[in-house]
Structure 1
Amino acid sequence: MKTERRHDIDWLRVIAIGLLLIYHIAIIFQPWAMFIGFIRSEESIDNLWKPMTMLNVWRIPFLFYVSGMGLYFSMKKRNLWQLLFERTKRILLPLIFGIVAIAPLHIIIFQKYYNLPLSYYPHAGHLWFLGNIFIYVLLLSPLFLYFMKKQEGKFRKGLSTFMSNPLGPLAISIVFVLEVIIVKPQIFTMYAETLHGFFLGLLAFFLGFIVVYSGKKFWQTVSKWKWLYIGLATVLFILRLLVFETNSPGYLIVIESNCWIFGVFGFGYRYLNKPSAALSYLSQAAYPVYIIHMFALYAGAIVILPLKISPIMKFVLITTFTFTVCYIIYDLIIKRIGFLRPLFGLKWKFNKVAPRQISIQKTK
C-alpha cells in the first residue's frame, strides 16, 4: 500500500523538538529550576518565562498528537506484529538504552556542578515520553487496526463530515476537559510521570490517530480556519496571563492548548507540506537530538553559567552550545556508527558491497 508522505507533519515534529530544547534551556534561568532537577542560574530572566508559559500548555500534547499521527502512517504498511516489532526497535530499545546510558549523564553533571556526591543510577529523566508512547501503542494498536480495516465504513465517513466544520476540531477539547475534571491536576503543565500526563497523552495520541484517519477534511478545515484557532488561543493566553497569573482553570487551558495545536496544524498544512533536503536531514536528526539534548544542555550550563556576562548572553550561548554539540554528536558519531544507530531510534545501516566487487570476489 502506497503511503503519502506528509512533509508538514515531519516539519512540525522537527520544530517541536527545537522548541523543546529552547524551553528546557529557559528553565535554567528560572528561580525554581532546582526543584525539578535543573541546574539554575544565579541570575533569573523573568521575562523569558512569559512566552514559555504560552508554549508550555501545548508543546507536550502536540508531540503526543504527532506521535498518534505517525502511528497511522506506520500502520498503513504493516500488520499488527510488524508494527509492534518496529515500535519496539524504534521506541523501547532507545528508551532502555537511554535509561541506562544517557539520562544518568546529565544527573551526574548536576551532581558535579553542585558538589554533591557523584552517583550513578538508571533513570528515565526526559525520556518518560517514550515510555508513555510505547504503552499507548500496546494499548491502542488493536483498536486502531480495527479502524484501519473499516476505512470505508460509516464511522470514518461520519468523522470526515464532523471534521469539515470548524467546530469539529474544537469539540475534541471536550474529552480533555473531562480529563482535568476527573484527574484534577494541581498544575496542568506537570506532564512527566504523572497520572494527568499519562491520560492527557493517551487522549492526544488517540485523537492524533483519529484526525488523520478522518481524512483530508480535517486538514482542509484547520488550514481554512487557522487564524480563528490562533485568535482564540491568543485571547485565552492573554486572559490566562492577565487574570489568572498564567494558571487558568483546567477547562480553559485545554481549549487554549487545542486551539494552538490546530492553528499550528493549519499553518503547517498550508505552508510546510513540501519536501526539501533540509527536512530530510532534520527529520532523521530530531529523534537522536531529543534523546541527547539534556546532556548537551547541562554540559553547556556548567561551562557558561560561571562566566561574567549578562544572563541574556548566557542564554544565547547555552542555546548555541546545546544545538552545536547535539549536531556534532549526531552527525559525527550517532549517524555514522552502525551499532549506535538503533540505540537512538535510527535504522540499521549496512555497508553495501558494489556488484563489481561481488563478482570479483566470486572469481577468486
Structure 2
Amino acid sequence: MTTSERRYDIDWLRVITIGLLLIYHIAIIFQPWGIFIQFIQSEQSLEGLWIPMAMLNIWRIPLLFFVSGMGVCFAIRKRDWKQLFTERSKRIFLPFLFGMFFIVPLHVLIWQNYYQQDLNYLPNPSHLWFLANIFIYVLLLSPVFYYLKKNEDGKIMQWFRKLMKNPLGLLIVIIPFALEAVIVNPDPFEMYAMTWHGFFLGLLAFLFGFCFVLTGSNFWNTILTWRWLFLSIALTLYLIRLLAFELKTPNYLMSIESNIWIFAVFGFAYKYLNKPSKALSYLSQAAYPIYILHMAFMFLGAVLILPIEMPVFAKFFSVIAFTSVGSFTLYELLIKKIGFLRPLFGLKTGKKAKDIVEQSVKC
C-alpha cells in the first residue's frame, strides 16, 4: 500500500456506521426503557429488535473511533500540527458547538412537548458527544502521532509492524481494551456517551487506528487473510453472550468480542468495499450533516407516527423513512447549497469543496 493509494473502504465504513447509528437510535424508540434515556418511547415495543442491536452495539461506536484515528494518520501526511489543529477545529469543534447550541435543543424541546413538560432551552452535547471526544483525542495524541510519523522506521514502529504480520499480534492489541473494561468496569458496557468508559475506550481505538495505518500493508494483509476466522470467533462469542449470558457477559469478554468484530469488519470492507462509486461520493459528504441532524427528525417522526393506528413494525420503518427523508431533504435544499451553513455541518466551502472525509482516503 503506497502513500497515494485511495482508500474507499474506510470511507464506506464511516458511512455505513453512521447509517447503523440512525437505525439503532430509532430502535431505542421501540424499547420499553427508551424514556429513561430521554427518547420518545412507543407504547408498542419491539424487544426482539434488541437481539441484532445488541450484536452491533458493542462494536459500532468503537469502530468509528478506530476509523477516526485512521483519518488523522491520513491527514498528517500533508499537514503539520498547526494545520491539523486548525482543520480539526473547523471540521469537528465548530459543528460540535453549533449542534450543541442550535440542533440538540430542537429534539429536547420536541421531547419536552411530547411528555407535557415545561419547555426549556437546554443546550447539551447529546449524540454529538462523539465529536467532542475526537477533538480532545487530537489535542492529546498529536504529539505522539507526529513523533511516530517522524520515526516511522524507529524501533517502536518496527516492533508494531512485526506484530501486525501475525493474527496473534491483533489479539495482543486487545489486551489494553480488556484491561480498560476491567478497570473502569462500565455498567452496561455499551454506555459510551459521556462516560469515562467511552472516553478511554475511544482513546485506545483512536490511537490504534492511527498505528494500524502507519504500519502500511502489514495490518491490512493480516485482516484480509484471517477475516473469516475473526468473523467465526466474533459470531461464536456473540452466541455465547446471547444464549448463555442473556447478553450480559463479563466486560472483558465483551471487549474481546467487540475488537474481533471490528477486525472482521475491516477485513471484509478491505476485500469488497475498496472501490469508487457515485453513491460513496455522495454519501461520504452527506453522512456528517445527517449525523448532526437525525435526532431532531427522528423525534419529530416519532411524535407524528406513533399515534397512528398501524402495526408496530410499520411504525418502525415509517420512522426510519421519515428521519432519512427529512434529514436528506434539509441537507440537499439548504445545508449543501448555502455557503455559511456548510462549515457549521462539517462541510468544506467553495466551489472545489469535496467530500467530508477527503482527509481520510489516502494512506
CA distance in 1, matches of 2:187, 2:270: 35
Residue 116 (structure 1) aligned with residue 121 (structure 2): no
CA deviations on 1:69-96 (whole Å, 9 max, x unpaired) are 0010011110000000000000000000
Given the two structures, how large is their TM-score scaled by the length of structure 2? 0.95
- Whether contact under 8 Å (1:8, 1:274) holds in the other structure is yes
CA distance in 2, matches of 1:296, 1:230: 35
Equivalent residue for 2:195?
194
CA distance in 1, matches of 2:64, 2:283: 16
Amino acid in structure 2 at the alignment position of 1:39 = I
- Whether contact under 8 Å (1:129, 1:192) holds in the other structure is yes
CA distance in 2, matches of 1:186, 1:19: 22
| Identity across the alignment (%) | 58
Structure 1 residue matching 2:262: 3-state secondary structure: helix
CA distance in 2, matches of 1:85, 1:142: 15
Equivalent residue for 2:84?
83
How far does residue 154 in structure 1 lie from its aligned partner after superposition? 2.8
CA RMSD of aligned residues (A): 1.3
CA distance in 1, matches of 2:180, 2:324: 36
Amino acid in structure 2 at the alignment position of 1:130 = L
Structure 2 residue matching 1:338: 3-state secondary structure: coil
Equivalent residue for 2:357?
none
Equivalent residue for 1:241?
242
Unaligned runs of 5+ in 2: 354-363
How far does residue 2 in structure 1 lie from its aligned partner after superposition? 5.9
CA distance in 2, matches of 1:98, 1:34: 22
CA distance in 2, matches of 1:176, 1:295: 33
How far does residue 315 in structure 1 lie from its aligned partner after superposition? 0.3
**Computing the radius of gyration over CA atoms, which structure comes out larger, 1 or 2?**
1
Q: Where do 1:132-281 residues align within 5 Å? A: 132-281=133-282
- Whether contact under 8 Å (1:26, 1:315) holds in the other structure is yes
How far does residue 263 in structure 1 lie from its aligned partner after superposition? 0.3
Equivalent residue for 1:70?
71
**Paired positions, count:** 352
CA distance in 1, matches of 2:87, 2:11: 19
Equivalent residue for 2:299?
298
- Whether contact under 8 Å (1:98, 1:127) holds in the other structure is yes
- Whether contact under 8 Å (1:229, 1:262) holds in the other structure is yes
CA distance in 2, matches of 1:253, 1:90: 32
How far does residue 351 in structure 1 lie from its aligned partner after superposition? 9.3
CA distance in 2, matches of 1:350, 1:336: 11
Equivalent residue for 2:132?
131
CA deviations on 1:29-75 (whole Å, 9 max, x unpaired) are 00000010100000000111100000000011011000000010011
Distance 1:2 1:248, change over 3 A: closer
CA distance in 2, matches of 1:316, 1:324: 12
CA distance in 2, matches of 1:316, 1:170: 38
Q: Where do 1:274-353 residues align within 5 Å? A: 274-350=275-351
Unaligned runs of 5+ in 1: 353-364
- Whether contact under 8 Å (1:105, 1:295) holds in the other structure is yes
CA deviations on 1:114-155 (whole Å, 9 max, x unpaired) are 111111121111000000100000000011001111122232
Given the two structures, how large is their TM-score scaled by the length of structure 1? 0.95
Structure 1 residue matching 2:120: 3-state secondary structure: coil
Structure 2 residue matching 1:16: 3-state secondary structure: helix
Amino acid in structure 1 at the alignment position of 2:110 = I
Equivalent residue for 1:34?
35
Amino acid in structure 1 at the alignment position of 2:92 = I
CA distance in 2, matches of 1:154, 1:124: 40
Structure 2 residue matching 1:339: 3-state secondary structure: coil
CA distance in 2, matches of 1:173, 1:162: 13
